[in-house]
Amino acid sequence: MSAAVTAPIRPLDLSGTPSVPMSRLIGVELRKMADTRAGKWLLIAIGLITAAAVVIFFFAAPDDDRVFLNFMGITATPQGFLLPVLGILLVCSEWTQRTALVTFTLTPIRSRVIVAKIAAALVFGAAAIVLAVLVAALATLLAGAPDPWQNIGWDSIGKFTILQASGVLQGLAFGLLFLNTAAAIVTFFVVPIAFNVVASIWTAMRDIQPWVDLGFSQQPLFLGGDMSGEQWAQLAVGTLIWVVLPVVVGFWRVLRAEVK
């Protein structure tokens, strides 16, 4: 047995113990996502499906359409489905597997854990966009369409970033709200469909839809082109309702939840 397990135990003295830096908590959260089978395969799936979408478009689209912005655009939909699931898993696996008991014992200030999870979710979202840019750029080079880099700039990359960041955060928020993987995933995917159904039947709904239907107000983000001030305002309101509000309420819930 080494000295580390036979030495005398000192009395409790907190003076020499710094608190755990946030960077370390974020690192642990990133690792937790990748060290289980479900998490690892979700990450692999995001990578593979992003690449597959680009490859399929490469062969399916006419030569003139094989430009960078189109390649980027084609990755938006599959990533938009999978990144929220990642956000949900990041939170809910702690509850379904009951590891929250250990996590909150090692970090009793629960808000720090949630902030670390939000940061980790954004890191994964950013990584997905970097991957999309790389794959799209590679496909663009291989395609050799005339003027393939048209209309791109920080503006379009920025819009993709907003789109995927809000998706992964919305997933995380639904996770915090429900603390149950199945409930969070089902709600996340059913709510937009229910919205469309209601809007198609109830005409009054159609007028406010751009303001309350996030899926609707996010469309300009990946369709390209300039967004009007009203469109930005609609995006902001939708994001407030479907991302910010659930994060706030979920945050509050987790701070008070009895961890079993």
In this chain, which of 22, 64, 99, 248 binds other proteins, going by CB under 8 A? 99
Which one of residues 22, 44, 101, 197 is an interface residue with other proteins (CB under 8 A)?
A: 101
Closer Cβ to other proteins, 31 or 206, answer by number: 31
- The CB-side HSE value for 239 (13 A sphere, CA atoms) comes to 17
CA 27, CA 116: separation in Å to the nearest integer?
8
Asked if 119 touches other proteins (CB under 8 A), the answer is no
Nearer to other proteins, 23 or 228 (CB): 23
Q: For residues 36 and 21, give the distance between their C-alpha atoms in angstroms, rounded to a whole number.
A: 24
Contact call for residue 180 and other proteins (CB under 8 A):
no
Smallest distance, other proteins to C-beta of residue 175, A: 15
**Counting contacts by CB under 8 A, is residue 255 touching other proteins?**
no
Helix (H) or strand (E) holding 216: helix 214-223
Q: Assess 22 for contact with other proteins (CB under 8 A).
A: no
**Interaction of residue 17 with other proteins, rule CB under 8 A:** yes
User: Is there a contact between 135 and 75 (Cβ–Cβ < 8 Å)?
Assistant: yes
Question: Does residue 123 belong to the site contacting other proteins (CB under 8 A)?
Answer: no
Q: Give the shortest CB-164-to-other proteins separation in angstroms.
A: 26
Of the candidate residues 50, 79, 93, 239, the single one contacting other proteins (CB under 8 A): 93
User: What end-to-end distance do the CA atoms of the chain give, in Å?
Assistant: 35
Q: How far is the CB of 29 from other proteins (least distance, A)?
A: 10
Site for other proteins contains 5 (CB under 8 A): yes
Select 28 or 227, whichever has its Cβ closest to other proteins.
28
- Rounded CA gap, 183 and 23, in Å? 30
* Of residues 129, 141, 118, the one with CA closest to residue 243: 118
Minimal distance in Å, beta carbon 8 to other proteins? 5
Does position 111 interact with other proteins (CB under 8 A)? The reply is: no
Stretch of 3-11, 128-136, 146-154, 219-227 contacting other proteins, by CB under 8 A: 3-11
Q: Which is nearer to other proteins, 27 or 210 (CB)?
A: 27
Segment interacting with other proteins (CB under 8 A) among 29-37, 82-90, 132-140, 184-192: 29-37
Q: Considering Cα of 231, then 236, then 239, then 241, what sign does the dihedral take? A: negative
What is the DSSP secondary-structure string of 137-181? HHHHHHH--SSTTTT-SHHHHHHHHHHHHHHHHHHHHHHHHH--H
Of these, 22, 60, 109, 198, which contacts other proteins (CB under 8 A)? Answer: 109
φ, ψ of residue 5 in degrees (nearest 5) = -115, 10
Q: Judged by CB under 8 A, does residue 203 bind other proteins?
A: no
Phi, psi of 147 (to 5 degrees): 45, 60
Closest C-alpha among 85, 84, 121 to residue 218: 84
